[in-house]
Amino acid sequence: MKEEKSFVKEITPQAEDFSRWYIDTIKKADLMDYTPVRGCIVFKPDGYELWERIQEAMDKRFKETGHRNAYFPMLIPESFFQKEKEHVEGFNPELPWVTEAAGEKLEERLALRPTSETMIGHMYSQWIQSYRDLPVLINQWANVFRWEKRTMPFLRTSEFLWQEGHTAHATEEEARQETMQMLDVYSEVVEGLLAIPVWKGQKTPSERFAGAVDTYSIEAMMKDGKAVQAGTSHYLGENFARGFEIKYLDRDNQFKYVHTTSWGTSTRLIGAMIMVHGDDRGLALPPRIAPTQVVMIPVGPLKLREKVMEAFDPLFDQLKAAGVRVRADLREETPGWKFNEWEMRGVPIRLEIGPRDVENGQVILARRDTGEKITVALADAVSAVGKLLEEIQQNMYQRAVEFREAHSHYDIDSLEALKQHTEEAEKENRVAGWVLAGWCGDDGCEAKVKEETKFTSRNIPFHPPVQKESCICCGQKAAHTVWFGRAY
C-alpha cells in the first residue's frame, strides 16, 4: 500500500506561479508529455480523450449545420503561398519546409500546412464552375504546424490538432451569415460543453487573420486574468477567390468570384478549459466533458469490504446503465490517497460508501467544484448523481462568469490609469484582468497600448456591457468599445 500523499504538495499554487501550476497540473494529471522535437508534445490518453469529446460535440454541430468533412494534403507548394499577399506575409515566418524526399531534392519546397486556405482555394477553383455548385461547405480535422518561438503545452505548440472549416458562397451576405453562424456554434460548444464563458466579437484590423476581410473571435479569461482566443471565424471576402481564381457562372451568365469563409478551433481549448477551472488541487473538469464523471470509492475497514460491495456493485451497474461515466477505484491504496488522486484528476463527483452508509442505506457524494459533501439515500443515488452533475456543470460555468466579471474593469479610461492598474496588480501579485475601453480606431493607439502595457485588443464585443465614449490612448472620440488584456 502506498503512503497517503497529497498532490497539493507537488503542484505549485496558482498564486505563486500560474504557469508552473499549469505545467505541474497537466503533467501530474498525465494529460501530455514533452518530446525531443521542439515545441511538439504527446497528447497522452487522458489529454487526448478531452479532445475526442470536443471533436464529437463540434462535429455534430458542424453536420447539423450542413457541413461535411474532407481531407486535403498536408504539404503545400511554396508557390501557393504567394497567391495571397497578406497570407504569405502572415505565415511565412512560421513555416517548416520539406525540401527533400526519397533521397532527392524537391524542385519546389513544400510547406507543412499552417492552415489550408491556399490548398483548399486551389481545389475549390477546380470544383466550382456554376452557381449550382454553391455553397461548398467543408470541414477538415487535421494536424497543423506553426514553428513559433515560445511554446506552451496545448495553448501554443509547433504541431497541433484542429478543425478548419472552409466554405464558398455566391454572395457576401451568405458568406457573412456563415461566418457568424460558426462563431455561434463555437460559443455554444465552448460555453455549453467546456463551461467557459466567452465574449463574441470582431478582431481589430491588426489582429485579423492574414488574408481575411474580417475576423471574429470568441475570447475567454483564464484564472490568471490572461485571455485565450478560443476560436476564430473569418470572412475572407474575395481575397482567396481572386488569388486562386475561384469563379462561378451566375444565373445572369456572368462569371463572378465566390465569397469564402474559414473558421477554426484547436487543441488549445484543452488548455483553456484547464486554466479556467483548475485550482491548487489540480484539474477540475466540467461534467459534460469529464471522461470519468463519478468515481466510486469503497471506504471503511477491509474486513467489512464484502458487505460494502453488496451495495457498491449494483449501484455501479445502475449508474452505468443510466449513462453516467462511472469508474470504480478498487485499488489497494488508502481512501485518502485515492481522494487526492481523483481530485487532482478533476473528476466532478466522488461517491463514497462505507459499512455505516450501507447500514443507513445512504451514500456520500463529494463535489469537486465546491468540496461539499452530500449524503443521499442509496435508493435515490442515481437520480441524485444525474442532478448533481448538471448542477456542477452550471455552477462551474457560473463561477467562471463571476471570476471574469470580478476581473473585468470598466473604469480605466486612460493609458496612464491602465499602466498604474497593471503595475499595482503586478506589485501586489493580483490578477490584472481585462479592461473594457474605448478605441478611436487608429492602429497607432492600439500599438501604443500594447507597447506600454502588454495589453492587446482581444475583440470588439458584439454586446459590450457598456459603451465607451473616448479612446483609452488618445482620448479622442471612440469608434469602438474593445476588450483589452494580456493574451496567451
The binding site for a second copy (CB under 8 A) comprises 33, 35-37, 40-45, 47-49, 51-52, 68-77, 93-103, 109-110, 112, 119, 122-123, 126-127, 138, 142-143, 147-149, 159, 161
The residue (of 47 and 264) whose beta carbon lies closer to a second copy is 47
The residue (of 68 and 373) whose beta carbon lies closer to a second copy is 68
The sign of the CA dihedral 192, 220, 261, 78 is negative
Q: What are the phi and psi torsion angles at 246 (to 5°)?
A: -95, 95
Cα maximum dimension of the chain: 85
The residue (of 41 and 319) whose beta carbon lies closer to a second copy is 41
Coil, helix or strand for 63?
Answer: helix
The residue (of 76 and 473) whose beta carbon lies closer to a second copy is 76
We find the least distance from the C-beta atom of residue 119 to a second copy, in angstroms, to be 7
Coil, helix or strand for 446?
Answer: helix
The residue (of 109 and 307) whose beta carbon lies closer to a second copy is 109
We find the least distance from the C-beta atom of residue 20 to a second copy, in angstroms, to be 21
We find the least distance from the C-beta atom of residue 45 to a second copy, in angstroms, to be 4
The residue (of 49 and 86) whose beta carbon lies closer to a second copy is 49
We find the least distance from the C-beta atom of residue 80 to a second copy, in angstroms, to be 8
We find the least distance from the C-beta atom of residue 303 to a second copy, in angstroms, to be 26
The residue (of 149 and 463) whose beta carbon lies closer to a second copy is 149
We find the least distance from the C-beta atom of residue 473 to a second copy, in angstroms, to be 32
CB-CB contact of 289 with 193 (8 Å): yes
In 116-241, beta strands by DSSP E: 136-145, 159-169, 199-202, 214-221, 227-237
The residue (of 149 and 303) whose beta carbon lies closer to a second copy is 149
Torsional class of 69: left (φ above 0), alpha (ψ -120 to 50), beta (otherwise): beta
We find the least distance from the C-beta atom of residue 152 to a second copy, in angstroms, to be 16
CB-CB contact of 151 with 157 (8 Å): yes
Q: What are the strands of the beta sheet with 136-145, ordered from one edge?
A: 68-69, 136-145, 159-169, 259-266, 227-237, 214-221, 199-202, 456-461, 480-485, 434-439, 408-409
The residue (of 110 and 478) whose beta carbon lies closer to a second copy is 110
CB-CB contact of 286 with 396 (8 Å): yes
CB-CB contact of 47 with 32 (8 Å): yes
Distance from C-alpha of 139 to C-alpha of 70, rounded to nearest angstrom: 6
H or E segment to which residue 241 belongs:
helix 239-244
The residue (of 27 and 281) whose beta carbon lies closer to a second copy is 27
- DSSP string for residues in 15-27: TT-HHHHHHHHHH
H or E segment to which residue 327 belongs:
strand 326-328
We find the least distance from the C-beta atom of residue 42 to a second copy, in angstroms, to be 5
Distance from C-alpha of 214 to C-alpha of 207, rounded to nearest angstrom: 10
We find the least distance from the C-beta atom of residue 337 to a second copy, in angstroms, to be 15
433 DSSP assignment: -
Q: What are the strands of the beta sheet with 294-298, ordered from one edge?
A: 326-328, 294-298, 349-353, 362-367, 373-377
Of the candidates 257, 339, 354, the residue with the CA atom closest to the CA atom of residue 305: 354
We find the least distance from the C-beta atom of residue 114 to a second copy, in angstroms, to be 11
CB-CB contact of 185 with 65 (8 Å): yes
**Grid cell digits, residue 95:** 513555416
